[in-house]
Structure 1
Amino acid sequence: MHSDPRFDNLRRTFVSFVLPVSIAFLAWYLLYVLMSAYARDFMGTVLFGDVNVALVFGILQFISTFGIAILYARFAGRKLDPQADALRDELSGAGVGNGLRGDRA
């Protein structure tokens, strides 16, 4: 199956989403860490009440994490799952007569 072009396409589709999103999120997180370490005056800027820029950045980290999870779930449901299901069904069906089924007696 690893040499099947459909599996290569599935892997390529997965990487085309995960790699850029991971790089973007790590860059965003690194910005937060570096700003907290080296731009303390800016991060300490009060926006209103007891809310400063650092608190907003921290909350945005959580929001972006949940946003990425939601985007990935939608992407996987639309692009990855149908391909993976087709490959899994083919493997399961091909293994019925060859003793490859998981429910051996």
Structure 2
Amino acid sequence: MSSSPTVPGRRQPTPQEFREMQDSAQFGELRSKFRNFAFPMSVAFFVWYILYVLLATFASDWMGTPVIGSINIGVIFGLAQFVTTFAITYIYIIYANKNLEPLQTAIRQKMEG
């Protein structure tokens, strides 16, 4: 059985310390801040995706309406799905760096010494 590699200056927390941290207010705050971002954003994107699918299914004539040349509303909505994905990722990175990373760092320092 091989052990995990150790990094100089860090100690390996015990299983009990992990359980205690998981029950701590500090970890609860981190979990809450993550969930307050991730759940609403996931729901919003899922609704946007389902809207796209429903429009493509039940309003195909409208989605096939040409906008510029052979580019129609459906193609624009499809491309908007990709743009939305990249935008959510960018927003998450900003949010995580500002709100999650400081808490994660504090927990890691407390746990690893």
Interval of TM-score (by shorter of Structure 1 and Structure 2)? 0.7 to 0.9
Say what the alpha-carbon RMSD is for the aligned residues.
Answer: 0.5
Query: Are 1:78 and 2:81 matched, yes or no?
Result: no
Query: Are 1:32 and 2:67 matched, yes or no?
Result: no
Query: Are 1:46 and 2:66 matched, yes or no?
Result: yes
Between the aligned partners of 1:50 and 1:78, the Cα distance in structure 2 is 43
Compute the displacement of 1:48 (Å).
Answer: 1.5
Deviations 1:32-69 (A, max 9, x none): 01110110111001112011000000010000000000
- The one-letter amino acid paired with 2:28 is D
Between the aligned partners of 2:37 and 2:56, the Cα distance in structure 1 is 29
Between the aligned partners of 2:66 and 2:79, the Cα distance in structure 1 is 15
Between the aligned partners of 1:46 and 1:80, the Cα distance in structure 2 is 44
Query: Are 1:22 and 2:36 matched, yes or no?
Result: no
What TM-score, normalized to structure 1?
0.87
Between the aligned partners of 1:66 and 1:48, the Cα distance in structure 2 is 24
Query: Are 1:89 and 2:105 matched, yes or no?
Result: no
Between the aligned partners of 1:73 and 1:22, the Cα distance in structure 2 is 15
Q: Secondary structure at the match of 1:74?
A: helix
**Unpaired segments ≥5 residues, structure 2:** 1-20
How many residue pairs get aligned? The number is 93
**Unpaired segments ≥5 residues, structure 1:** 94-105
Aligned with residue 55 of structure 1, among 75, 87, 105: 75
What TM-score, normalized to structure 2?
0.81
